[in-house]
Chains A and B, each alone.
Chain A
Amino acid sequence: MTNIWHNAGARGKLLCLLLLAVLVATPLAADRYLLSVLILVFYFAYLGQAWNLLMGFAGQLSLGHALYLGLGAYTATALWTLFGIGPWLGVFIAIPVAAAAGMFVGWLGWRFAIEGVYFALLTIAFAEFTRIGFDHLQVTGASAGLFLSVNSPGSDKWWNLGGGPLLYYYLALILAAGATFLVAYLRQSPLGYRWLAVREDPEAARAVGIDIFRARMIAMLFSASMTAVGGVFYGFYYRNLFPSQVFDIGRSIELILAPIIGGLGTIFGPVVGALILTPLGESLTALMEALGINAPGVKLIFYGLMLMVIISLRPDGVWPWLARRLGLSGARK
């Protein structure tokens, strides 16, 4: 950890600390709407970090991360509703479940040399397959959904992941910040260098004796496990789960937008992307209202256009450019 800190540069250190301090203090001043938006920002930043590990560092495109999100969410919430096992314990069961799924997908894909778009399609196929499976799984309510009560004994206590916005705010903040530090740490580790080598040139990496398969599998292990934790958060934040919502391909797509827009393979990319996209959606809603445009769809048209504009202007993402502007080092791809 000290290593990253040394490399950050004085400005970077200052900015990092300042941002964290501001975010920790925000609930003192912010209203609940802002908090709810920030919770989403952190949530997407966190998931973005998880996905970025696999794509940004190990170079493997997954379009099926909803699989790990959904498995994590369903495992923990089902343990709680069916057996009364609390989420702090349940998360340690949710992680291996999702990790196992991830390892299986990875094993199948990389053992059989499925790469690029083909690998992406493989991940979609597994996520969709599982979605339909859960649509029929009676023990978790099938397509009718799984519901968490709000007033059963202890369900509103923090140790059962129930409570007001502050709990979720700080939890999401800790997740996002923790993931960012973890990613920063991994990036500097020997493992991180192996990932980058594998991403940049698999053949050369193999030539210098890196076990490509192993490196990718470890990336998947981290990525799927972290995503599962995000799923647990999702399940207890919304307190209801439907396979058609949580396993949907739309979920997989929305969670990869932030890291790509922010800057793939960078440490702060997913954070910056989430800080741009979620508020963008909210402010477009506000803008439409201010302009008196109440036609459904207009906001999403602008949202889609913004995606196209950003990726056309900043194909490497916003963060590398922003970091240069701010005079921060270490933001290169």
Chain B
Amino acid sequence: MAITLNVIVQGVLTGLVYGLMALGLSVIFGVMRVVNFAHGEFTVIAMYAAFILFEMLGLQPLIVLLPIAAAFFVVGYLLQRSLISPFVGRAEHEQFILLVGLATVIVNGLLLVFGPDARPINLPYSFDSYAIGSLFIDKVRVYAALGAFAVAAALFLFFRYTRTGTAIRACADNLTGAAVVGLDVKQLYAVTFGLGLACVGAAGTLMATIADASPSLAQAYTLLAFTIVIIGGLGSMVGALVGGVLIGVSEALAGFYIQPSMKSMFSFALLIIVLVLRPQGLLGRRL
């Protein structure tokens, strides 16, 4: 029983970080309908950014979280203004090719610059864990999950209580209406993509504390993010976190009770079931 609880807690913590990564996708995909197939690649860039700052300047990921997120916001803003903008509203397969091309460039660029080795961030508490009875909870996972939770909450507040946030939600709800009432959709989209990438920047920074950066991680992250977003519900911020946790926990339990090598089968099965029974996602609005 205690060991099951242990597995569940670890799953929840990891799931929250996954959830934050997926949140970025949910924002981009939910508002702009851009199928960001380079999502995992951006996450890995953030992991490398955290790694470099730690190696070169000794700055811990939790300290550089906001600067990296800010930098990613700027990158996202510029990317949208230059590369992505012509593709908004285009067919999904065209976006797909653009972003698959971009993903190929990023992965191989990272390989070229950093090499194929996994790059760890060794924090003083990297190997520590909290022992509660017979439970062992990894310290880094607790910190990363708390970080993810805080960033998600900040984003939530932004969308709920700021003018820009409200305007972006208006664009997502009714694009034509938003344009008619005089909202600068182009500008808002750029901000949205920036916010999506800021999320990814934060998630990647946190991810770097629990996983080692390497170029080969990227594709798996992209797929993971899409799975979570669909399960949680497109455009639902809480949904992304819930989806992340659900994936984290179900994989952990399947790995523990059935067979570790089959655990991702269960997240794909979960995805299929959700798509069939509740295509808008667990917490998404009716399509």
Contact = CB atoms under 8 A, between A and B. Distances in A.
When A and B assemble into the complex, do they touch directly, with CB atoms less than 8 Å apart? yes
A37 B276 CA distance: 41
A144 interface: no
A111 B156 CA distance: 35
Contacts of B90: 315
A301 B97 contact: no
A315 B279 contact: no
Contacts of A298: 108, 112
A126 B265 CA distance: 9
B275 A118 contact: yes
Given A121-B271, A303-B104, A261 B109 contact: no
Contacts of A306: 101
Interface stretch (B57-65, B188-196, B222-230, B237-245): B222-230
A136 to B, nearest CB: 7
Interface string B96-113: 111011111101110110
Q: Number of contact residues on A: which range applies?
A: 35 or more
A260 B104 CA distance: 17
A136 B261 contact: yes
B102 A308 contact: yes
Contacts of B104: 300-301, 303-304, 307
Interface stretch (A41-49, A76-84, A186-194, A249-257): A249-257
A56 B223 CA distance: 24
Interface stretch (A127-135, A147-155, A174-182): A127-135
A144 to B, nearest CB: 13
A315 B107 CA distance: 24
Given A113-B279, A117-B35, A129 B93 contact: no
A328 interface: no
Given A125-B275, A301-B112, A304-B105, A311 B94 contact: yes
Interface string B4-18: 000000000000000
Given A112-B275, A118-B230, A307 B97 contact: yes
Interface residues of B, number: 41
B272 A296 contact: no
B164 interface: no
8 A-B pairs with least C-beta separation: A304-B104, A307-B101, A297-B108, A304-B105, A308-B101, A300-B108, A297-B111, A311-B97
22 contacts: A61-B92, A108-B276, A112-B276, A114-B279, A116-B92, A121-B275, A122-B271, A125-B227, A125-B275, A128-B223, A133-B265, A136-B262, A250-B219, A256-B93, A260-B96, A260-B97, A297-B109, A306-B101, A308-B83, A308-B98, A311-B97, A311-B101
Interface of A: 55, 61, 108-109, 112-114, 116-118, 120-122, 124-126, 128-129, 132-133, 135-136, 249-250, 253, 256-257, 260-261, 264, 295-298, 300-301, 303-308, 310-312, 315
Interface of B: 29, 35, 83, 86, 90-94, 96-98, 100-105, 107-109, 111-112, 219, 223, 226-227, 230, 259, 261-262, 264-265, 268-269, 271-272, 275-277, 279
Given A297-B111, A298-B112, 6 more contacts: A112-B275, A121-B227, A121-B271, A126-B268, A129-B269, A305-B101
